[in-house]
Amino acid sequence: MKLYLARHGEAEPAAINPERPLSPFGVEQSRRVALSLKTRGAAPAAVFHSGKTRARQTAEIIAGSLAPGAPITILPGLEPDDPVPPIAKQANGFTGDTMLVGHLPFMEKLASWLLFGHDQAEPVFFSPGTVACLSRNGDSWSLHSVDTP
């Protein structure tokens, strides 16, 4: 089972648009990382996002390339400062390849929690548009790959 942890692409500044949709560059980042993932056979069965516009747009772009028709759903708990343990517990119950699209610092803390059992390690630097792929073997997770746009 693979878990793809994605940080949304570059967003518009809040001063320009308070909803902070993806900038044109952020759209391109999402397309590039989707292409990279696709060449390696990534095909998540489900894609979840935080509900924020930039995360939803990133999820739609990536899923449209990797898994057309896969459900794209809001998953409460993926906000920037949400606690990590509830989502980590859910991730341990996923049975198929899954993608989570969210924000900093949450994505870095989730990767740390799954890999090391605490949220202080920062094993992956999530620049905008980065996707880390974790693999689960039994009860343990390992870092499989990191794609940057």
| Protein fold of 2-147 | Rossmann fold (3.40.50)
User: What's this model's pTM, rounded to 2 decimal places?
Assistant: 0.96
pLDDT in tens, 21-33: 999 999 999 999 9
- 15 contact partners, CB below 8 Å, separation of at least 6: none
Q: CA 21 → CA 45, 97, 105, 141, distances in Å?
A: 25, 26, 18, 32
With pLDDT > 90 as the criterion, what percentage of the chain qualifies? Answer: 91
- Quick one: tokens of 54? 């930039």
With pLDDT > 70 as the criterion, what percentage of the chain qualifies? Answer: 100
Domain locations in the chain? 2-147
